[in-house]
Structure 1
Amino acid sequence: MTASVPHSPEARLVETRQRGWVDPYAGLDAFDYVRRAPSPGLAAYVEHFWVVTWTDLAEPYEQRIVSHPTVNMTITDDFHRIAGVIRGGFSYTMRGGGRVLGTRFRPGGFRPFLDGPVSRLTDRFPGIGEMYGAAGETLVRRVLTEPDIPAAVALVDDFLLGLGPRRDPVAEEVAALVAMAESDVSMTRVDALAARAGRSVRSLQRLFRDYVGVGPKWVIRRFRLHEAAERVYRGLDLATLAAELGYADQAHLTRDFTAAVGMSPAAYARLGGTGQPASGT
């Protein structure tokens, strides 16, 4: 299903940019994945729409995700819900054929659609109908019966715009801070991010709980684990990686990695065909 995607692991990573997928290249052989940009009026809140489709799977395929500090709205035959930030492991099993249409909000971008702090959604999956009543249920029915992907995406785009979100400068500040934490590999401490933001640590913690749903420490550590997963997959020495990512020692990285990814760094390195990382498990 993915013949158009380059088969070199490095090329495929660049092509798909699926940071957070566990064993991403195996996944791309099991299903098709596309992104679509939101309309200009929604771009301040939504990072992108994403659509996963699969057909005629001979065996069930489970895709595990090391989640991001974002809210997603997902519609599939199995469920239709709002997913807050998921701090633990998350996976979805595909069988036969199907489709998932997701809306990935920008960090802080769901706050204008919620009457209250985003932390109330953390580790929760309220239904779209529960959140938005009859209008939400109607949206779900229309999306599930619309076979055309661009048309289905347009239904969700129109629905969200119809909720009348208002631009929030604080949400945009939060999105910029989360992007900074993601892109700067040297960012390993909350006080460093607070200094960049011109805020106290306590102010930054309140801000992240209200707009992101989790604290800045979790956000920073999660992005460093994403980085760790990519580099372990390519066989980087684990002790070196632990030091670069701000861990006290290799054992602490191994513990966090195993909890988030669902397997040890050594096992994950074997998925990438690199064998065991040079220093331990």
Structure 2
Amino acid sequence: MTATGRWDWSRVDVTVPARPPAPGVQMAGFRYHDVAPVDITMIPHPSVTVLLDLSENGVVYDVLGRPVTGNAIVGLRAGTLRITGAGTGDVLQIRLSPVVAAAMLRDSGIIGGTVTPLPELWGSGTDILTERLRSMPSWDDRFALATAFLRSRVPREFGVAPEIAYAWGRTVHTSGLVRVETLAAETGWTRQRLWSRFRTHVGVSPKHASELVRFDRAAHLLAVGRSPADVAAEAGYVDQSHLHRRTKAITDMTPTVVARAPWLAIDERAWAPS
């Protein structure tokens, strides 16, 4: 997820693993030192996000007026998401590619959904994991524990079809510009079969997945100061008006507001490409 609104990231320590935990998995630990209340609006990102709240005061996620407290999983259709909390404390954030999430979570409704309380997926194991993470002496220990837990959630007999994994990989590699018809031809599937199987496992259509990837690229270009017109051309939108319409549809914000998203300012620290 990506956040907008004013936030002083100099008051936040960001720690990442020395090496990627696994293909398609990224982790970052955030330690908030500011005592001021947290109030951040987040926008969609082309990954499934697991948020483990290790603070004592609790974090609240609000999507479409429905509050979710504590640990949560944010799906690919979260839309605009507001996060509030007491400010101090630790949060472990895990990003899963949709392909990894499909194998690990085995619930396309959650993957392609909005925000789900984590206990609904992992039951009492969520509280046990959270308490163990809180007791860990370092972020490295926390990353190792979280990685082991995630690996334990992948059943040996379940896997995503190679065609789906290929389609997602190509979507990311082309920044969301590859056509569904091209993906179908390259996988050897019909367009209808690719569309159906992709939705079944990932929870969204290939077109929606492409739009998330394309928008993510546009958001990062806007954040480094590129003009909306240049971003529209480079990110594959018809024109600046098209970029504006799609940004409003996805985030209910204008490209100008998205360009000031403070979370993007630390993306290279927290979410450097694997």
Bigger radius of gyration among the two: 1
Q: Smaller-chain TM-score range? A: 0.7 to 0.9
For residues 33 and 171 of structure 1, the distance between their equivalents in structure 2, rounded to whole angstroms, comes to 35
8 Å contact kept, 1:32–1:54: yes
Cα deviation, residue 158, structure 1: 2.5
Per-residue Cα deviation, 1:2-42 (whole angstroms, up to 9, x for no partner)? xxxxxxxxxxxxxxxxxx63469966434222332465xxx
- Any residues of structure 2 matched to 1:81-100 within 5 Å, and which? 81-93=72-84, 95-100=86-91
For residues 28 and 183 of structure 1, the distance between their equivalents in structure 2, rounded to whole angstroms, comes to 30
TM-score (norm 2): 0.73
Cα deviation, residue 80, structure 1: 1.4
Q: What residue number does 1:254 align with? A: 244
Structure 1: give runs of 5+ residues left out of the alignment.
Answer: 1-19, 273-281
Residue 29 in structure 1 maps to residue 29 in structure 2: no
Question: CA 1:171/1:257 → structure 2, altered by over 3 Å: closer, same or farther?
Answer: same
8 Å contact kept, 2:5–2:261: no
Percent identity among equivalent residues? 27
- Any residues of structure 2 matched to 1:40-189 within 5 Å, and which? 43=22, 46-55=24-33, 57-76=34-53, 77=55, 78=58, 79-93=70-84, 95-115=86-106, 117-166=107-156, 170=160, 173-185=163-175, 187-189=177-179
Per-residue Cα deviation, 1:64-101 (whole angstroms, up to 9, x for no partner)? 43323322322104211333223411243454311111
For residues 238 and 135 of structure 1, the distance between their equivalents in structure 2, rounded to whole angstroms, comes to 45
For residues 124 and 269 of structure 1, the distance between their equivalents in structure 2, rounded to whole angstroms, comes to 23
Q: Which amino acid is 1:21 matched to? A: T
8 Å contact kept, 1:63–1:93: yes
Q: Which amino acid is 2:92 matched to? A: L
Q: Which amino acid is 2:200 matched to? A: D
Task: Tell me the secondary structure at the aligned position of residue 167 of structure 2.
Answer: helix
Q: Does 1 or 2 have the higher relative contact order (CA < 8 Å, sep 6+)?
A: 2
For residues 259 and 27 of structure 2, the distance between their equivalents in structure 1, rounded to whole angstroms, comes to 30
Question: CA 1:212/1:32 → structure 2, altered by over 3 Å: closer, same or farther?
Answer: farther
Cα RMSD for the two superposed structures:
3.2
Q: Which amino acid is 1:192 matched to? A: T
Structure 2: give runs of 5+ residues left out of the alignment.
Answer: 59-69, 263-274
